[in-house]
Structure 1
Amino acid sequence: MTRPMRIRWTIIGLLMGVMILNYLSRSILGVAAPTIMREQDISTQQYGWITAAFQVGIMFQPLVGWLLDAIGLKIGFAIFAGLWSVVTLLHGFASGWVGFAALRGLLGLAEGAGHPGSMKVVSEWFPARERGFAGGLYNIGASLGAVFAPPLVAWAILTHSWRAAFLVAGGISLAWVLLWLFWYSPPASHRAVSAEEKAEIEDGQETGLEAMAAKPSVGSLLRQRNLWGIALPRMLADPTWGTLSFWMPLYLMTARHFDIKQMALFAWLPFLGADLGCLFGPSVVAFLQRRGIHLIDARRYAFTLGAVLMTGVAAVGWVTDPVMAIALLCLGGFAHQTLSVTVITMSADLFRKNEVGTVAGLAGLAGNTGLLIFSLLIGTFVDQVGYEPFFVVLACLDLLGAALLWTLVRKPS
């Protein structure tokens, strides 16, 4: 007999698509920044405020996650994805640093649904043994969005204007919303899911993490050490992604003197490394589980391995060869996603299904707070001290995050 198609893998395909568009929309500005700053007479410090506005917007992730838990994924995700699509389109008509900052704040608010919504989908549609791999797959979408941004911006600048890149990304995102509304439903009510697959999903869930009727209480979640055990490592890890997305293009063009064609050829490579990290982290976890190591400990070991690999980023600013600098940035992307996808997935390992969106949002708030602080520091001091000290700090932060993950997180009883 032919084995029926597993609908959950089409759902993860949808998630990959939306995360590609989510991170493409947010990454375009970083790649186009040198051109926009020159055309709009925007200073480095003002650009720092523009990136900070995005982080302020995305810091409402706990509210967004709570809303997704409260109103449901199908409609909730469609609303937020539709909003960020429209805001992305409006970037194509922006002028002045204040206008960009306002739009970035709105974009951050809407795109805050990306990780809480995706992690909630993974918790509903995948048995525990597959969650790490599923989380890695949708996070590949995040990296691919950043991979596509340099070629898209180079094409737009060389053939039209940087504004065209935002119009293309926003239009495709609106099309995704229609596809989501057509195909997504929870496993219990999806028109195409088989009884066999439903049973496979239900039988693979941990006991004790079933959804409860009551809405999640933020206050009670904040009193749980497991929340802080995944939120604080994210606070220390997320500045790496922000640096790659918002500051690396400017670094390559100002400190390494890349032109737009070289950016199109090389600036996407660190995100390709990140794609590989999205698969490597879950593979490490699966390897350790097959050897009898508990799931939570396996995730902690994978995070720690990524943190050790991140130490290579310290040398980015000191090497003289631009190719070696790109190689070290690729290592940083690989290491970051190895550990990031691991800790993001833990919200579904440690909390009830109707709490996952809220927990992921709170952890995302912590991560974006760290990114906001780091981005403001770069914007304020990079002209005086250069990029070198910031790469050294990034190399050390995840080691502290690994220590916190081992110290604070407790396995579910």
Structure 2
Amino acid sequence: VLLWSLATGAHGLATSAMGFMVCRFILGLTEAANYPACVKTTRLWFPAGERAVATGIFNAGTNVGAMMTPMLLPLILHVWGWQAAFLCMSALGAIWLVFWGLKYYNPEDHPSVKQSELDYVQQEVEPEQPRVPFSRILRMRGTWAFALAYSLTAPVFWFYLYWLPPFLNQQYNLGINVTQMGIPLIIIYLTADFGSVGGGILSSFLIGRGMNSIKARLLSMLLFACCIVGVIMAAGSSQLWVAVFAISLAIGAHQAWTANIWSLVMDYTPKHMMSTVFGFGGMCAAIGGMFMTQIVGHILTVTNNNYTVLFTLIPAMYFIALVWMYFMAPRKIPTVDV
């Protein structure tokens, strides 16, 4: 977080395009540790029946940021200038770093955790395993089960982030009017928040009813993949709010899917390997995102900005990923020999 804060603040001090690009590169490197750290923390602090809800809550912060930034940024730019936008973000990161450093402990080290609470958090029995080299982790079936499935679906959310405003503007002539453009985007990302938390609640409910955690995650992911099919209506609709409804349902289901695929990899990955496995999957997803950007641009160029092909392909990504996870995901925490 410290390096991320410094890299963010450095943007406001950049005096050339090259300096800005260097800052962006460093920012990408430093922020990459965020989600592996979040997932590892969730893995340590929550049993299987509660992980998806906890994951959905922290992942909902992405959508809160997407809603708040367009509202706060114009004010900051008007009062203090563009450099202040980066410096303010840097300051928030530094404040969070102080809070985290003072308050965070692993469960077994927390000064106020009772033994009964520790037993509840650590109720799952895991085989004792020594630390293993990265090469061994790359040979584990579960690593590739998550990496490929996540690479297929994570870039879809970045597609929504980057291409929704151009799509809405092109299809419905919204222009840059804050009210016209802002309200649909706020509704879409607010739905994503509800989906993120609700997806975790569903699989946790199934686990509470006695279903195996892996099966509960996969069944939940199947239901959310079916919900995403509705996004096909968005491209062909002449009505703005029909498109907003279809996209809202899809992006909410995507975040519900994400809460469960993250929880799924937690369920079958030994806790001392969690950050490495998730980080590798995140790297693969980032590479997939680079290709997604090129593919989207190519399709829009060839089809004269017709989004129908893109909205038709999106649901297929989830079903391909689900089939891959079904056959490849381990059904229990493996030993290092697997």
TM-score, normalized by the shorter chain, greater than 0.5: yes
* Matching residue within 213, 216, 240 for 2:156: 240
CA drift of 1:99 comes to 5.0
* Matching residue within 83, 104, 111 for 2:31: 111
CA drift of 1:260 comes to 4.4
What whole-Å deviation, never above 9, does each CA across 1:298-339 have from its counterpart, x for those lacking one?
A: 100111111111112223222222222222221122011111
Q: State how far apart, in whole Å, the 2-side matches of 1:162 and 1:138 are.
A: 28
* Matching residue within 169, 172, 179 for 2:92: 172
1:405 is the counterpart of 2:328: no
Q: Which amino acid is the alignment partner of residue 101 of structure 2?
A: L
> Could you tell me which residue of structure 2 aligns to residue 259 of structure 1?
176
Q: State how far apart, in whole Å, the 1-side matches of 2:235 and 2:210 are.
A: 41
> What is the SS of the residue equivalent to 2:331?
coil
Percent of counterpart pairs with the same letter? Answer: 26
> Could you tell me which residue of structure 2 aligns to residue 206 of structure 1?
125
Q: State how far apart, in whole Å, the 1-side matches of 2:209 and 2:182 are.
A: 43
Compare 145-154 and 96-105 and name the one that shifted more. Answer: 96-105
Q: State how far apart, in whole Å, the 2-side matches of 1:282 and 1:332 are.
A: 16
* Matching residue within 220, 241, 261 for 1:343: 261
> Could you tell me which residue of structure 2 aligns to residue 64 of structure 1?
none
> Could you tell me which residue of structure 1 aligns to residue 275 of structure 2?
357
Q: State how far apart, in whole Å, the 1-side matches of 2:107 and 2:4 are.
A: 26
Q: State how far apart, in whole Å, the 2-side matches of 1:95 and 1:387 are.
A: 39
Distance 1:384 1:265, change over 3 A: same
1:147 is the counterpart of 2:67: yes
* Matching residue within 166, 180, 188 for 1:270: 188
> Could you tell me which residue of structure 2 aligns to residue 90 of structure 1?
10
> Could you tell me which residue of structure 2 aligns to residue 310 of structure 1?
228
What whole-Å deviation, never above 9, does each CA across 1:153-198 have from its counterpart, x for those lacking one?
A: 3434555545443332222111101111111121222223233322
Distance 1:362 1:284, change over 3 A: same
> Could you tell me which residue of structure 2 aligns to residue 8 of structure 1?
none
CA drift of 1:252 comes to 3.4
Q: State how far apart, in whole Å, the 1-side matches of 2:8 and 2:194 are.
A: 28
CA contact (8 A) 1:149 1:268 kept: no
Q: How many residues align?
A: 329
Q: State how far apart, in whole Å, the 1-side matches of 2:15 and 2:125 are.
A: 51
CA RMSD of aligned residues (A): 2.4
> Could you tell me which residue of structure 2 aligns to residue 288 of structure 1?
206
Q: State how far apart, in whole Å, the 2-side matches of 1:228 and 1:166 are.
A: 36
What whole-Å deviation, never above 9, does each CA across 1:129-158 have from its counterpart, x for those lacking one?
A: 222221122112222222222212343455
Q: State how far apart, in whole Å, the 1-side matches of 2:297 and 2:16 are.
A: 17
> Could you tell me which residue of structure 2 aligns to residue 301 of structure 1?
219
Compare 258-267 and 235-244 and name the one that shifted more. Answer: 258-267
Distance 1:130 1:108, change over 3 A: same
CA drift of 1:380 comes to 4.6
> Could you tell me which residue of structure 2 aligns to residue 327 of structure 1?
245
Distance 1:379 1:88, change over 3 A: farther
CA contact (8 A) 1:126 1:201 kept: yes
CA drift of 1:247 comes to 2.6
What whole-Å deviation, never above 9, does each CA across 1:26-61 have from its counterpart, x for those lacking one?
A: xxxxxxxxxxxxxxxxxxxxxxxxxxxxxxxxxxxx
Q: Which amino acid is the alignment partner of residue 326 of structure 1?
A: V
Q: State how far apart, in whole Å, the 2-side matches of 1:206 and 1:284 are.
A: 24
CA contact (8 A) 2:50 2:204 kept: no
Q: Which amino acid is the alignment partner of residue 259 of structure 1?
A: I
Q: State how far apart, in whole Å, the 1-side matches of 2:246 and 2:82 are.
A: 28
CA contact (8 A) 1:85 1:174 kept: yes
TM-score (normalised: structure 2): 0.88
> What is the SS of the residue equivalent to 1:317?
helix
> What is the SS of the residue equivalent to 1:146?
helix
CA contact (8 A) 2:11 2:20 kept: yes
CA drift of 1:95 comes to 7.1
> Could you tell me which residue of structure 2 aligns to residue 44 of structure 1?
none
Distance 1:97 1:141, change over 3 A: same
Unmatched 5+ stretches in structure 2: 334-338
> Could you tell me which residue of structure 1 aligns to residue 288 of structure 2?
370
> What is the SS of the residue equivalent to 1:316?
helix
> What is the SS of the residue equivalent to 1:268?
helix
CA contact (8 A) 2:231 2:250 kept: yes
> What is the SS of the residue equivalent to 1:107?
helix
> Could you tell me which residue of structure 1 aligns to residue 336 of structure 2?
none
> What is the SS of the residue equivalent to 2:311?
helix
TM-score (normalised: structure 1): 0.73
Unmatched 5+ stretches in structure 1: 1-80
Distance 1:170 1:379, change over 3 A: farther
CA contact (8 A) 1:154 1:261 kept: no
